[in-house]
């Protein structure tokens, strides 16, 4: 039984889009879905189930950080029969190749943290996304002519701009993993999916660039994600 979700079994679709922000979940439902209804509001973590071009999907917020998305994704997979979760969020860029507003499809997520050891007792710091979902996203991007960058992300426990010296963290990252930037949820999502035999992917819009000293405003963060949202929604039609 889910502790943090009041939706009834059957009210959540097999495929879920998962932004961090509850208001972004509401925005997606209101602007992209038909016949949608609110199925969860526990702790303000909104979930809406509706139809996109006739396909039933759910959009549910995850909150911020690995513990939060770990809880919500686990419950979706374990108690509601969800098969696919696509996280849609923002990230910071660490490399020159990434520009603000670029869309990143995450291949692997790295963390210094102990999420995996907490969950399963296994020491793990690098985890793959679902090849099935990534292939569907890449095929969809080609069909709708949406550009993207595919690469690896660091999943952090602190918000980069609040670190005393972000480069102390960046310089510790394994060079062989070719990490392009950072966000705060993908490792927990990917690891939970892998542990439960489910599928997970992550699409991110670059909201700031450390090496270029550029960033979006709060308003731009809210309103500049439509290309990424549409790519995720169009992908759901293939699942």
Please, are residues 193 and 78 in contact by the beta-carbon 8 Å criterion?
no
From CA 5, how far away is CA 76, in angstroms rounded? Answer: 9
Compute the C-alpha angle 174/152/88, nearest 5°: 140
The three-state secondary structure class of 88 is strand
Token digits for 80? 């509601």
From CA 213, how far away is CA 211, in angstroms rounded? Answer: 6
208 is catalytic: yes
Token digits for 14? 């097999």
55-60 vs 15-18, strand pairing mode: parallel
Catalytic residue among 21, 102, 107, 208: 208
Residues tagged active-site:
208
């Amino acid at each position: 039984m889910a502790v943090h979700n009041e939706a009834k079994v059957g009210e959540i679709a097999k495929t879920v889009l998962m932004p961090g922000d509850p208001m972004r979940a509401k925005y997606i439902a209101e602007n992209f879905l038909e016949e949608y209804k609110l199925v969860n509001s526990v702790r303000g973590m909104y979930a809406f189930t509706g139809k996109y071009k006739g396909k039933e999907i759910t959009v549910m917020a995850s909150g911020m950080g690995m513990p939060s998305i770990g809880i919500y994704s686990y419950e979706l997979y374990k108690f509601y029969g969800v098969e696919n979760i696509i996280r849609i969020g923002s990230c910071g860029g660490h490399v020159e190749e990434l520009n603000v507003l670029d869309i990143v499809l995450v291949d692997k997520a790295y963390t210094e943290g102990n999420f995996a050891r907490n969950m399963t007792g296994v020491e793990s710091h690098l985890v793959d996304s679902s090849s099935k979902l990534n292939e569907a996203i890449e095929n969809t991007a080609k069909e709708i002519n949406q550009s993207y960058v595919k690469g690896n992300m660091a999943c952090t426990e602190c918000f980069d701009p609040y670190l005393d010296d972000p480069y102390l963290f960046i310089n510790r990252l394994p060079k062989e993993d070719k990490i392009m930037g950072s966000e705060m949820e993908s490792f927990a999502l990917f690891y939970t999916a892998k542990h439960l035999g489910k599928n997970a992917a992550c699409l991110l819009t670059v909201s700031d660039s450390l090496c270029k000293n550029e960033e979006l405003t709060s308003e731009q963060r809210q309103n500049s994600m439509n290309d990424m949202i549409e790519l995720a929604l169009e992908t759901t039609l293939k699942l």
